[in-house]
Structure formats: structure tokens, C-alpha cells
Chains A and B, each alone.
Chain A
């Protein structure tokens, strides 16, 4: 029983990281009807940005630096810097690669997205080298409290807390602010939004920046949990977060979070009870099943295509 609860906790923790990435997919899909294949690679870039921030600030492992407690301030600073860097990268990708294709067939946009993704992966390999690097542990992982024999660690709480705070902030931003309203308008119809005086291109840019910043938060949390950074680290989390977004109904923010939680739990449980080498195939299998039986996802709405 204790192991089962432990797995549930791990699953929720993994799920909340997936949720942060999945939101980026869903935001961009909602506004451009584009699967941003490069999203997972922005996640990777953000992890390198966090690594760079640590190096620039001279931050090392909290324990080896002799700090008695976790350096929360340093963690928050690295998080903020990484989010800013990723937002800039996301904005740049949209500006350079996707904007020139506005109004062209969606297939072209899709091919471009695949190209950008590969470019970032291989560019990172050429620039940073292919070998993985270690992320300094800014938060000392220790058990915080236990539930029915299962340990909840400080790290799990930090991941959950950060994710929850960002999700709430995003929800408020999308549903309560002028920019959020503009974004929802653009996602309904670019033309109508433009007629109403909404600067469509700027809204799209900001959406990319916000989505990338969320991926960066996920990257820093992921780095705290699995302290390894390499140029291909974004591929699998990216694909899984995408599956989560589709599972919840792509374009639907709350659906993305729901889908991510389901996927995080399913994956942890599959890995825990036997079939760990098939873990990566699970996401694809799940995706194929959803797309075949309910392409609109759990919370999404179906749109009929017309001539």
C-alpha cells in the first residue's frame, strides 16, 4: 500500500511537469492550429539556460556549498532567468520561422515546425556537445512528511507548488486580463480579431513567449528531479506532454492539465509494475487510441470541417 501511494505521489509530481509543457502545446495549437514540434526543444534550451544561470551566478550544489538549508532564493532566481530566456527563444522562433509562413498551407507550417525542432536539437549538439551535463542541486531533497507510510519529499512539494502557482496564474491571465481576452479572440478567428483592432501578430508572439516560459519552468523543475541536461532531453517529455494535451483535448487549457496528470500516473504505474522498457511506447499507444476513438480528447469540442 505504501509503495502504491508512493507511486501515486511520483505520478502526480511527474504529471505536473508534463502539465506545464502540455500547456505550451495547447496554447499555441489554440491560436495557430499548429503542433509546435519545437516546443520540447525549447524545454531543452531552457534547461541549458538554467545551467548557464547557475554557472554565471556561481551556484553549486547546496550541500557542498555548506548551506544548511536549501537555497530557495537561488532556485527562484534561476527559475526566473530560465523562464525569461525561454520566452525570448520562443518569441524568436515564432518571429523567424513561423511568421513568414502565415497564411500558407498548414502542411508547410508543420514541416517547418519539424525542421525547427531538428535544428534546435542538432544545433545544441553542435554548440553544447552531445554528452550530458549535471545540474547543480539547488534544493536539498529530504522527506518533508509521510502519508500512510509513503514519503512526500521537499522536492515533490516544490514541484507541485510551483506548477500549481503557474497554472493558477495562467488561468487568471487567460480568463481575466485584456491580453488573455485578446488571445481567446484570436484563437476563434484571426480575421475577426484583426477587424476588432486586436494586434494579431503581437498576441501570437506573446502566446509563444508565455508557452515557452511555462516549458522553462517545467525544465527547471525537471532538472531538480532528474539532474541531467543533454541536447535530446526535450524529445521524450515533449512528445509525452503533447500526448497529454491531445488526451485532454488540444486547445483546452484545463484539459491539458487533466491529460498530463492521467499520463504521469499511468506512466509511473506502468514502470512500477513490470513493463518499464515499454514505458515510452505507452504514450504513443495511448495517443493512437485517443485519436482513433475520440480525436477531440476528453474535454475538447469537435469541429466539423467544411469546404
Chain B
């Protein structure tokens, strides 16, 4: 679990390097693959943030897409309303505008996560899953019924902004933040909550605070991903953030190995690229087998390899090969 400590300077350098590299890769790719590359980045942010709740803290949330929706709609509303002037002036101002909308998206989603988490994290396991599912659906139904935000027709005309440097820079930041948390005492407390909540409580861990904190942080990052998504697609509608999207993110976390950040990254890349690779199959059979394969993969994973691809290990700890073998025996979660 313990990785090398990352100092502030190294962290900054890493962020810059990742952003630059992503920008370069994106520029070199043809447009279609470039768009896929950006989508991988956005999904990776979602997977890494959900991993904090589902993997590290062992709480099963099924409403991540709802928080993403909040971030996306916040960004959409700000960039076409109060901040529209910024996006229309020039490229530099647009960057500043994007920074504002991303922060606002994170803030709104994080606040919502905190509000949702405060009462519902008293619940455990399947009850928590249902309540988060419920909140996710309520957010979606609310958006569907709000005419000011486009309702079922969707929100059009969001100014395009962002790109690879932003998406992957923020992804790197999310990973660093998670890594830092994991190496801190709060991260240890979260792990203790996952392993045995009652025992953690007995040892003086404020379990509610831990869980709600993780949940709010995770929701905020989902908001960031949502805001980036809104500016990337420049069109959003409530259907993009339905239960299926939540499940997709959960599958990424489970496939990667619950609690493994590099696993979440890997799985996000695989699961975003795979449907595109399977496109010929869809044309051949005429039916969309993507979700069939997702769900089948979920069931088979739980039966044959509950630890996911990497178990709880990380690619960079070097011991992942051993974890790979452990993962075959070890179950994830509680």
C-alpha cells in the first residue's frame, strides 16, 4: 500500500509533465482517437474519485453520476450565463473562465456530496447503495423537470474549452490528492473504517467524519469531471448522467481492484476504449452488446476474481505481481 513519498516540488513537476505529455499526445492523435483519449481522462477522474469511497473507505456508492451531473450543469449554467463574457473575449480569459466553472462545479457537487453523505453514511452496505442510487435519480429527475436548465431537451451551446492539458492535469492532481490522503492519518483512518467500522470506532476514529469527508471529496472530483465533460461535449442532457453511468464508474473501480488507484486508471482506460474497439461487433450483430458485456464482466469478476485486476496493490509499489496472485484469493471491500 505504501508508495514513495512525493514532495511538493516533485508533485508540481509531475503535474506539469503529465499535462504537457497529454497535450502532445492529443495533438498527435487523429481527431477521433483524440476525443476518445479525452474521454478516457474524464472517466479516469471519475473512477479515481469513486475509488476513494468504494475502494478505500469501503462504502458502496451508486450515485456518482448524479454528482457529475451537478458539476456539469453548474459549469454549463455559469459559462452561458454569468461568466459568458469571459468565454467570449479571448483564449486567455476563456482559460480563466474554465478555471472558475471547474471550481464552481467541484464546490456545488462537493457541497451536495456533504449534504447527502451526512445523513446517509450512517447506513451501511446495501442500504447506502440504495440511498445513493436514490439521490442520483432524484438529481436526474430534478434536472429533467427544470425547464430553466433545458429539461429533457438538454443544455446546448456550452462554450468548448479545456482539452487534454486541463483534463489530464486535473487527473494527475486528483491522483496526487488521493495518494497524499492515503499516506496521511486520515487515509489510515479510512482504511480502518473499511476493515472494521465498529473496531475503528472503538479505537477512537471519528468514523462519520471520515466517511462524510471522503464522500464529499469524491463528489467534488465527480463535479470537476462533470464540468470538464460539459465543456468538452458542449451539449449535456440528463440522460448522460443516469444510473448506467454510475454503474459504468462502479465497474471501473471493481475491475481495477477496489482500493487500487492505478487499477482504477487502468480500468477506466480499458472500459472506455473497449466499446470503441467492439464497434465492428455491434455493426456485425446489429445489437449493442456493450452493456451485456459490462454486466457479464461484473458478475464473472465477482465470482472468479473478486480482487479485480490489481487487487489492492498499485502498479508503482513493485509488489503488484504478488498482489496479482493475492487478488485471486482476496475479496474486495468490507
Contacts and interface: CB of A to CB of B under 8 A. Distances in A.
Contact of A107 (B120, B130, B334): B334
A110 B247 contact: no
A280 B137 contact: yes
Contacts of B120: 288, 291-292
Contacts, number: 125
Contacts of A206: none
A123 B333 CA distance: 28
A104 B126 contact: no
Interface residues of A, number: 41
B87 interface: no
Main SS class of interface, A? helix
A125 B131 CA distance: 27
A119 B292 contact: yes
B60 A307 contact: no
A114 B250 contact: yes
Contact of A281 (B127, B141, B298): B141
Nearest to A103: B331
Nearest to A100: B303
B250 A288 contact: no
A102 to B, nearest CB: 11
A306 B62 CA distance: 26
Given A112-B302, A123-B292, A291 B333 contact: no
A281 B306 CA distance: 33
A272 B130 CA distance: 27
Contacts of B202: 307
A118 to B, nearest CB: 4
Contacts of A305: 124, 198
B25 interface: no
Contacts of A295: 123, 127
Interface in B205-259: 247, 250, 254
B333 A281 contact: no
Given A105-B331, A107-B332, A111-B298, A118 B291 contact: yes
The winner among B62, B123, B134, B198 for most chain A CB atoms within 10 A is B134
Nearest to B129: A110
Contacts of B129: 35, 110
B334 A101 contact: no
Contacts of B127: 291, 295
B299 interface: yes
A108 B138 contact: no
A284 interface: yes
Contacts of A285: 134, 138
A112 B303 contact: yes
A287 to B, nearest CB: 6
B33 interface: no
A280 B247 contact: no
Given A281-B141, A285-B138, A111 B131 contact: no
A306 B145 contact: no
Given A288-B135, A306-B198, A307-B199, A111 B142 contact: no
B331 A281 contact: no
A116 B199 CA distance: 33
Interface string A279-301: 01100110110011001000000
B138 A125 contact: no
A64 interface: no
Given A108-B306, A126-B292, 7 more contacts: A35-B130, A105-B332, A112-B298, A116-B299, A121-B295, A126-B288, A307-B196
Identify the 8 closest CB pairs spanning chains A and B, nearest first.
A115-B298, A118-B295, A107-B333, A284-B134, A119-B295, A115-B299, A122-B291, A112-B302
Interface of B: 58, 60, 62, 119-120, 122-127, 129-131, 134-135, 137-138, 141-142, 144-145, 196, 198-199, 202, 247, 250, 254, 287-289, 291-292, 294-299, 302-303, 306, 331-334
